[in-house]
Structure 1
């Protein structure tokens, strides 16, 4: 074989060689048990397309999409064996589609694009934008910190293009600015349809130590912990759960700060509504001491209803400090002195249920040796011959 023929043969062999990055078309030979498509190439060699290189859908079953004999176009990712007699290649359909999408790029930095969230990872969201794989960092997902990014999986979102680098197939986006604009628009719409004093239905969106945020249809309002129930609530999560439907009353609409204040307890009958009927003045009840102050003790007589036993109403004996005779948790009997439901005030007495001791000053003798009782008895004597001057002499 002369040199010319050798060079021609070498050129033909070189033309038939498959290199990483080449786009190749092959025939589906089989779908193996590992959910991989075995592809026959024009060189007589074989390649494989794993499910992960076929689609971003983790649950895809290649047997549902492909059948033996189908023609498929892919890009060569790498050699998976060095066996010269049967070189096999790792092929990818989704990377080829991404390459084509980059070639047809139709947006630029600063544009707002539609994206589909493919997956949530520790650092943010992996999204698809017109066939191009992009990334939304966790700090750019929302205006506030989002602890659970999985809630965005499968959602269609709008995001601003922050960085594009086709050479590195790098696409970075931000949903934060777009979310802020969307929230502003929704708030404006909400302020136009909501009115202070109105009762509406909402959904508990998230819970915090200081209250619950309720979704009113695209915008959240805050139910402060003090507005959740007429009973004392320490932790909102004890009485509410995410996704729960609740009725709320609009307390305030702050257009300047973009805030909506809500109340759940304002939609429910209050414990004071019937207290005047349940406990009129003179009623004797058993209660529990809740708090002890210098001026008296607060006693819970019904759930959520506390009345004050003033220090002067604790005992007939002089009480300097209520804490000397009462402590939180004590069970006591009290009598209702006065009820003011509108002011949410009720006055109670413990000493009213105690036997009043005899007046010591009336029983004791005065400083001259004669008791007031003796004097009274004497004054009522029929004969009345003696006078007070007789009894006390010139000391009177």
Structure 2
């Protein structure tokens, strides 16, 4: 049943009631009738004055004298007008019966939305809801101007977001609900949420709310608090939440820190995913904290005991080990002697023979034996030698031999040597 139907029905009942009441049961004396006419004339003048004093939009107060199923009736203070409030105008909340909100003898404030000016009938159609909404809009506009946080109750969950009661019906789009994607909006049903005003247009009944801003502000405050508590050099636990080609981002609570690819492992890392995966729980050492820029530099490898430290505990100078040639450079070869531990074989320590370039005698990936020449705990360096694992091969000396014939008969004479020279002499 519409409001107009309700009001029409009420009008008919009221008129029938008035007809019955005005049916005379006994004669009225002439003097009384004259006085009555005078009194009626005065009342008519007052009513005419009263009629002209009400317009749509006027605010009134009254007292509830009847609560019906679909509307509320109230006496307007200081007048003989009756106010009728349809159930849809009692409140902006969904109700089944007006008595959920008002009761007889309640004092109400409302706004006039229609004036009924009929003969011997003085009715105002009122709205408590509109008056409350007008006040709510004024409060919401002030909240937006002052960037205030307000509270609202979720009235309805729809596909695009949440309908929220903030005095009027407001709407939080899903994109403004959180700083992260929210898959299940139903979790917010009937909850009271803190929000900020995003946009408001009273004429269009448009109220857009923003919860994301509050979450971002809260998280920023949390990040600053945590950043101030982080100590450079401390070791903490974190979770890998994102990987890039230059490193891994590790969540420490309300802040993410970056472990550069060079800080993921003591072994050489070509791809970040070879060292860590999203979801891994890792211990990290805090290398640097920049509170102003919210940056934290982390190291996974430095949170662990280094392979070199383990190596020097287990090995000494003079030991011979198996190693793998990892890199060849002009001045020597880097040989891995343990996971994460490489030592240098200087070019002069490759062979007992002269080596012009390491690649002349070695290949990357080649398995070789090396001897530890020295271990430097301070610098973390290991000096190795290949030639010390082999013995020098002594080359036999090359002696020049002269073969002579010692027999006399084979000895040359002076005549054999000088004969041709003497024959031409004139002796």
The normalised TM-score by structure 1 is 0.54
Deviates more, 1:161-170 or 1:277-286: 161-170
Matched, 1:134 2:167: no
1:171 maps to which of 182, 203, 208: 208
Match of 2:262 in 1: 226
Structure 2 Cα separation of the partners of residues 127 and 252 of structure 1: 42
Deviates more, 1:126-135 or 1:313-322: 126-135
Q: Secondary structure at the match of 1:218?
A: coil
Q: Deviations over 1:208-245 (max 9, x none)?
A: 33233333332222222222333333344444344443
Match of 2:292 in 1: 256
Using a 3 Å threshold, how does the CA distance of structure 1 residues 327 and 107 change in structure 2: closer, same or farther? farther
Are the counterparts in 2 of residues 102 and 132 from structure 1 also a CA contact under 8 Å? no
1:107 maps to which of 140, 151, 154: 140
Structure 2 Cα separation of the partners of residues 137 and 289 of structure 1: 56
Q: For 1:307-318, what aligned pairs fall within 5 Å after superposition?
A: 307-318=343-354
Match of 2:230 in 1: 194
Using a 3 Å threshold, how does the CA distance of structure 1 residues 113 and 292 change in structure 2: closer, same or farther? farther
Match of 2:355 in 1: 319
Match of 2:340 in 1: 304
Larger Rg: 2
Are the counterparts in 2 of residues 286 and 331 from structure 1 also a CA contact under 8 Å? yes
Matched, 1:213 2:249: yes
Structure 1 Cα separation of the partners of residues 209 and 350 of structure 2: 71
Q: Deviations over 1:88-136 (max 9, x none)?
A: xxxxxxxxxxx99987555344544568999999xxx845544633226
Matched, 1:285 2:321: yes
Q: How many residue pairs were aligned? A: 271
Structure 1 Cα separation of the partners of residues 293 and 366 of structure 2: 46
Match of 2:281 in 1: 245
Are the counterparts in 1 of residues 318 and 373 from structure 2 also a CA contact under 8 Å? yes
Using a 3 Å threshold, how does the CA distance of structure 1 residues 159 and 351 change in structure 2: closer, same or farther? farther
The normalised TM-score by structure 2 is 0.51
Match of 1:336 in 2: 372
- Give the Å deviation of 1:204: 3.1
- Give the Å deviation of 1:349: 1.4
Query: Can you give the 5+ residue segments of structure 1 that lack an aligned partner in the other structure?
Result: 1-10, 17-24, 27-69, 74-98, 371-396
Structure 2 Cα separation of the partners of residues 294 and 152 of structure 1: 64
Q: For 1:1-396, what aligned pairs fall within 5 Å after superposition?
A: 104=136, 107-108=140-141, 109=144, 110-112=147-149, 126-130=161-165, 132-135=170-173, 137=175, 142=179, 150=183, 154=187, 160-165=196-201, 167=204, 169=206, 171=208, 173=210, 175=212, 178=214, 181-358=217-394, 363-364=397-398
- Give the Å deviation of 1:300: 0.9
Q: Secondary structure at the match of 1:332?
A: strand
- Give the Å deviation of 1:158: 6.4
- Give the Å deviation of 1:350: 1.4
Query: Can you give the 5+ residue segments of structure 2 that lack an aligned partner in the other structure?
Result: 10-68, 71-94, 99-129, 402-427
- Give the Å deviation of 1:174: 7.6
